[in-house]
């Protein structure tokens, strides 16, 4: 399928040559003028940029030798940009150039890596360069390519620095958020520290985070406050065993007012199998993970089962499917766990995101999750929560299930071109829907 027949190639060549010959018939001078450039712009490459997090306005102002279209089927090249976190805390952007219509025989794949400390401007400039270079395989077949210059500045001779940190990355961050008016105040603070080492052969993640939130309401001169606080420490070690298998172990410690947990510890060895080779992970993954956990817990207040502390054994199996294709994004996961001391106490969580570009201009998304709790809320408060704790959702309540569900569609028609940037009176309120999963 990938290789097109010689007849199609010939046809493509003829299509490419046709505008050239048309241009050739004009006086050479006219091409240098604005009219000539505008004429070339009409036959310029039609590009569909499939990227949730890119600064599209910037890209469109920097790369003007192509036409941008809002529908993938209209495009001659579909640029699918998928992202993944790198070991250094940056992002790997995989740019897949997929030729379509009369460019079916061309394809390419380029990568761009951002660093953790890059600013938005660094990232958008880097992405523009990768896009420009990748697009040239296609632009080279359009007449406008005659007006493109490539400059090469030989480097001043700096060698790659040796990595004296042996792949370790440390990160410390803190955030505070305050808001309020006369009768309402909300304060939140969050802090975290992490140390990670990611190599193709193994992965180590260590993290510590603390958060605290307080809401204050003044109702009839009475002050009502709602507080939530929690902290968490975690560690993960994963070893790679070939293209499909991995084994690892995780350590967790947490405290949460919402869940009535004063201190919960967990040690869990686990094994994972990916049905697709890990090398394809940016576009497709189907991972199955099984873990066995030992979990001693101390509660803040006596639970409905009359416990103040206990040690639990739990097993968990999860399945995750992530697909990123031309037609959209699919992500499904299911997770089941139960306690070994009483197999009837189980919990099942399911989660789905489907975002499809169905037909010209029409896209739909469905996202939802459903969880079943079968006597598995072992940490529930022994007492009834107060009215305010309930309205402000500060305490976990007994439940058999919970769910969230969202569905929507968007249909667009009219002009397929989205070349224009017009910042007057502000740029907000643009139409278009975008769902991105990180």
Partner 1 sequence: MNRPRTAIAALLVTLAVLAATAAAQVPPPGPAGPPPPPKPKVFLDWPGGDPDFLRAEIPFVEFVSDLATAEVRVLVTPSGPAGSGSVSLAFTGLGPFRGDDNTLSYAPEPGASPEDAKKGLAGTIKLGLLRYAAKTPVAKDLTVKFLDQAKPTAVIDKWRQWVFGLSANAFLMGETQYRNGSYYASLSANRVTPEIKIRTQVYGNWSDYWFDLGDGTAYESATHGYGTSALAVKSLGEHWSVGGYVEAESSSYSNLDLALTAAPAVEYDVFPYSESTKRQLRILYRIGFTRARYSEETIYFKTAESLLQESLSFAYEVVRPWGKASVQVEGSHFFHNVKFNRLELEGELEFRIWRGLSFEIDGSYTRIRDQLALPAGGASYEEILLRQRQLATGYNYSFSAGFNFSFGSTRSNVVNPRFGNGGRSISISM
Backbone angles phi, psi at 68, to 5 degrees: -95, 135
State which residue, 262 or 310, has the beta carbon closest to partner 1. 310
**Shortest distance, CB of residue 78 to partner 1, whole angstroms?**
16
**How many residues are listed for the chain in this entry?**
438
Rounded to whole angstroms, the Cα distance separating 376 from 384 reads 18
Element (H, E) at 172: strand 168-181
State which residue, 28 or 306, has the beta carbon closest to partner 1. 28
Q: How many CB atoms lie within 10 A of CB 72?
A: 20
As given in the structure block, the two tokens for residue 338 are: 């139960």
Instruction: Using the Cα atoms of residue 38, residue 128, residue 9 and residue 24 in order, give the sign of their dihedral.
Output: positive
Rounded to whole angstroms, the Cα distance separating 132 from 47 reads 12
**Shortest distance, CB of residue 385 to partner 1, whole angstroms?**
9
**Shortest distance, CB of residue 311 to partner 1, whole angstroms?**
6
Rounded to whole angstroms, the Cα distance separating 129 from 37 reads 22
State which residue, 274 or 303, has the beta carbon closest to partner 1. 274
Query: What does DSSP say about strands 67-68 and 46-50: parallel, antiparallel, or unpaired?
Result: parallel
**Shortest distance, CB of residue 394 to partner 1, whole angstroms?**
11
State which residue, 121 or 301, has the beta carbon closest to partner 1. 121
**Shortest distance, CB of residue 362 to partner 1, whole angstroms?**
9
Q: What is the DSSP letter of 382?
A: S
Calculate the alpha carbon distances from 337 to 263, 298, 316, 342, 428 in Å: 21, 20, 4, 12, 44
**Shortest distance, CB of residue 299 to partner 1, whole angstroms?**
19
State which residue, 259 or 331, has the beta carbon closest to partner 1. 331
**Shortest distance, CB of residue 11 to partner 1, whole angstroms?**
13
**Shortest distance, CB of residue 378 to partner 1, whole angstroms?**
17
Rounded to whole angstroms, the Cα distance separating 398 from 410 reads 37
Secondary structure (3-state) at 343:
strand
Backbone angles phi, psi at 394, to 5 degrees: -95, -15
State which residue, 101 or 183, has the beta carbon closest to partner 1. 183
Q: 232, 251, 252, 165: which is closest to 192 by C-alpha?
A: 232
Beta bridge partners of 354: 330, 366
Q: 75, 71, 134: which is closest to 107 by C-alpha?
A: 134
As given in the structure block, the two tokens for residue 75 are: 């495009």
Angle at 347 between CA 341 and CA 349, to 5 degrees: 150
State which residue, 205 or 326, has the beta carbon closest to partner 1. 205
**Shortest distance, CB of residue 209 to partner 1, whole angstroms?**
12
State which residue, 7 or 28, has the beta carbon closest to partner 1. 28
CB 264 within 8 A of CB 302: no
State which residue, 97 or 299, has the beta carbon closest to partner 1. 97
């Amino acid at each position: 399928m990938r290789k097109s027949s010689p007849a199609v190639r010939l046809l493509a060549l003829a299509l490419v040559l046709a505008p050239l010959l048309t241009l050739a018939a004009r006086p050479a001078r006219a091409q240098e003028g604005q009219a000539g450039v505008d004429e070339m712009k009409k036959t310029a490459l039609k590009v569909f940029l499939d990227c949730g997090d890119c600064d599209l306005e910037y890209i469109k102002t920097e790369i003007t030798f192509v036409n941008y279209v809002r529908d993938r089927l209209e495009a001659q090249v579909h640029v699918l940009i998928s992202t993944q976190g790198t070991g250094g805390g940056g992002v790997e952007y995989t740019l897949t150039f997929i030729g379509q219509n009369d460019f079916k025989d061309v394809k390419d794949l380029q990568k761009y890596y951002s660093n953790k400390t890059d600013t938005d401007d660094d990232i958008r400039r880097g992405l523009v360069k990768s896009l420009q270079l990748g697009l040239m395989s296609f632009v080279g077949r359009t007449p406008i390519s005659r007006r493109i210059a490539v400059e090469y500045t030989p480097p001043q001779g700096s060698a790659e620095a040796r990595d004296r940190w042996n792949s370790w990355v440390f990160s410390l961050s803190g955030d505070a958020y305050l808001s309020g008016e006369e009768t309402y105040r909300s304060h939140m603070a969050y802090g975290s520290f992490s140390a990670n080492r990611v190599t193709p052969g193994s992965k180590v993640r260590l993290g510590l985070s603390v958060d605290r939130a307080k809401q204050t309401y003044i109702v009839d001169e009475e002050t009502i406050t709602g507080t939530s606080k929690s902290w968490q420490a975690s560690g993960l070690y994963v070893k790679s065993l070939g293209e499909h298998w991995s084994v690892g172990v995780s350590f967790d410690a947490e405290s949460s007012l919402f869940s009535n947990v004063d201190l919960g510890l967990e040690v869990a060895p686990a094994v994972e199998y990916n049905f697709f080779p890990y090398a394809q992970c940016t576009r497709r993954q189907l991972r199955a993970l099984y873990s066995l956990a030992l979990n001693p817990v101390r509660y803040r207040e006596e639970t409905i089962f009359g416990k103040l502390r206990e040690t639990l054994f739990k097993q968990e199996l999860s399945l995750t499917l992530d697909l990123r294709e031309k037609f959209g994004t699919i992500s499904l996961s299911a997770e089941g766990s139960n306690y070994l001391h009483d197999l009837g106490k189980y919990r099942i969580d399911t989660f789905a995101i489907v975002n499809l570009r169905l037909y010209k201009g029409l896209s739909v998304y469905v996202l939802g999750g459903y969880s079943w709790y079968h006597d598995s809320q072992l940490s529930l408060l022994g007492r009834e929560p107060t009215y305010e704790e309930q309205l402000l959702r500060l305490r976990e309540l007994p439940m058999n299930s919970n769910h969230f569900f969202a569905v929507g569609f968007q249909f667009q028609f009219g002009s397929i071109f989205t070349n224009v940037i017009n910042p007057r009176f502000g740029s907000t309120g643009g139409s278009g829907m975008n769902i991105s999963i990180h």
